[in-house]
Structure 1
């Protein structure tokens, strides 16, 4: 009986040797001077996980890949070039992913799921996915839920205007540039603001979002961050720092003076939110005894409802329910 190979090796045109360990799906790139340490490597490790890239949605066409199997793609300027088709168009577009490698060819594994549930099932089969590609029509709430469930997942969003252009294009070998793809972790605020889109769809950095929304005095969108993201204590501290600077208004800006009360309410909501997130029982119950304004109570009730839905701890669930009950009385008052 023939034994299965432990490794797959590929010599590249530029003279690199890429050696993939099949059992663990990791690889090492060898140069003429020995093993390569990729840029950004943790602890200067030479071992790199083979990127697992998921395209989610019925409109993607990945028929040129053997999905779920090891493939090799070209690398240009350190970025893996991943071709795909979308929306029934014959046009071939590409996504670029940083590799940190000097090699001209690297391994990847491509997956294609048509439904979100299929993706979730796939992830439960011991597949650790690294990148998720969706288009702008993907339901926003589903995207937020996926990011909460898979916090390390890098989400790439294909802009709608690029998809629309593909339907009208007659070129069959057109290549999408990097600016045609929105990286949810590295999105440029000015690009999205100019398009009139909701920034919360594109970035998974809540501090970044808060800074942009506050700069535009979009206070309601800053509130929404509390519901769209799972904030850390550090996130809240940074956001409250922005609010404190606005309240000080050292440059005496008219816009800040006119909105001072609204900013104070927003700061109070974030102050209370961290007590909820950190489950500071005594401190929060002191605040409940003091009471909230109706506007603050409405937002705190929504946060408590979110926390109750997300918790898997029965005691915490009961605690959030009790806090909701007391807060609801303030809303109804």
Structure 2
């Protein structure tokens, strides 16, 4: 039978079904400890942890399919060795499990390409931990592909241990917003928080490349396609669609895709929604001072203004004073 039994220092028993990524937990008296507050499930999930990078070393017992980690004061203690600083360090992960040890699945991959090649997208990863060799764009793509519960970026860069997601999430995002100059990474973080006004601001604050724009459109599509039933996504659905259209329009502008530019302008029925298009045309025109580009983007500006006038005139005709 594919399970193992372990006794913790406090006298609890773990029956680990390592092929299924689950375990049963029993107290000293042999009584089952439920995995949920409602008392409906006895099966606890084994946390799945992936380290990505070349500066980590994790001590593992390779004769077992799992690694036992200590729990203290509601925190899983995850030790690793910083190969650059030659120091043993720790990451503290939040857990609601009432035990002093927990089985975990820990994998190590050397880099971005190895991650995409060796680990299937549907693996169900709880924690991804990256070092400084992984770029922000690579982190963004990995996060979009695997959708982990938490991403911990370069934990060794901080003098203090990484706190729990609940405690550290807001400071983490604050640091990203003030320190990162990578629009793809920022876009993913803003989408994760549904900070859509900040996502919209990226179009104005950054000269985003065509490839990066395509990544961002993919992230928005992914949310609209796979999370459309979630209450927060439903609440922001219209804004998400408008942002997608804005990014598509910006992409068409920088790629000189005249047909898409005209189609986007002519398909709009609300004059207010044309204002962001006008702003984007002005921005791209300022980025391209050449004479031909100036003529092209001035033409696009005129198209936006003409479409606005058409819509307003049509609305006035339907609603005479």
> Residues 268 and 108 from structure 1, CA distance in 2 versus in 1: closer, same or farther, beyond 3 angstroms?
closer
1:38 Cα deviation (Å)?
3.2
Structure 2 match to 1:270: 243
CA distance in 2, matches of 1:121, 1:140: 19
Deviation of 1:157 after TM superposition, in Å, equals 1.3
Aligned partner of 1:19 in structure 2 is 15
Choose from 196, 203, 210 the match for 2:195. 210
**TM-score, length basis structure 1:** 0.58
CA contact (8 A) 1:11 1:17 kept: yes
1:98 corresponds to: 94
Matches within 5 A, 1:1-333: 5-31=1-27, 32=29, 34-38=31-35, 44-64=40-60, 66=62, 69-124=65-120, 127-159=123-155, 161-162=157-158, 176-179=160-163, 183=165, 187-189=169-171, 192-193=174-175, 196-198=178-180, 201=185, 204=189, 206=191, 208=193, 210=195, 213=198, 220=204, 228=216, 229-230=219-220, 231-232=223-224, 234-235=232-233, 237-238=235-236, 269-270=242-243, 272=245, 288-290=266-268, 293-296=277-280, 330=300
Contact 2:55 2:83 in 1 (8 A): yes
* Mapped partners of 1:137, 1:122: distance in 2: 18
Contact 1:207 1:235 in 2 (8 A): no
- The CA RMSD over aligned residues, in Å, is 4.7
Q: Secondary structure at the match of 1:46?
A: coil
The 3-state SS of whatever aligns with 2:19 is: coil
Report how far residue 15 of structure 1 moved. Answer: 2.1
CA deviation after TM superposition for structure 1 residue 18, in Å: 0.8
- 1:277-333 CA-partner distances (Å, limit 9, x unpaired): xxxxxxx9685345954544699xxxxxxxxxxxxxxxxxxxxxxxxxxx9x94897
- Normalising by the residue count of structure 2, what TM-score does the alignment of the two structures yield? 0.60
Matched residue pairs, number? 253
Question: Aligned in 2, Cα 1:74/1:222: closer, same or farther, shift over 3 Å?
Answer: farther
Shift of residue 125 of structure 1?
9.6
The one-character-per-residue Cα deviations of 1:64-99 (angstroms, maximum 9, x if unpaired) are 553983111100122211101124222111112223
- 1:303 corresponding residue in structure 2: none
Query: Cα offset for 1:55?
Result: 0.5
Counterparts of 2:32 and 2:207, CA distance in 1: 49
What is the deviation of 1:220?
3.6
Contact 2:48–2:124 (Cα < 8 Å) also in 1: yes
User: What per-residue deviation string (whole Å, max 9, x for no partner) do you get for residues 3-42 of structure 1?
Assistant: xx4321111121211110233231011123722123578x
Structure 1 unmatched ranges of 5 or more:
166-175, 242-266, 277-283, 300-326
Give yes or no for contact 2:56–2:131 (8 Å, CA) kept in 1.
no
Distance between the aligned counterparts of 2:149 and 2:178, measured in 1? 26
Indicate if the aligned counterparts of 1:213 and 1:222 stay in contact, CA closer than 8 A: no
Contact 1:213 1:221 in 2 (8 A): no
Deviation at 1:122, TM superposition (A): 2.5
Output the CA distance in 2 between the equivalents of 1:87 and 1:23: 31
How far, CA to CA, are the matches of 1:137 and 1:53 in structure 2?
Answer: 18
Structure number with bigger Rg: 2
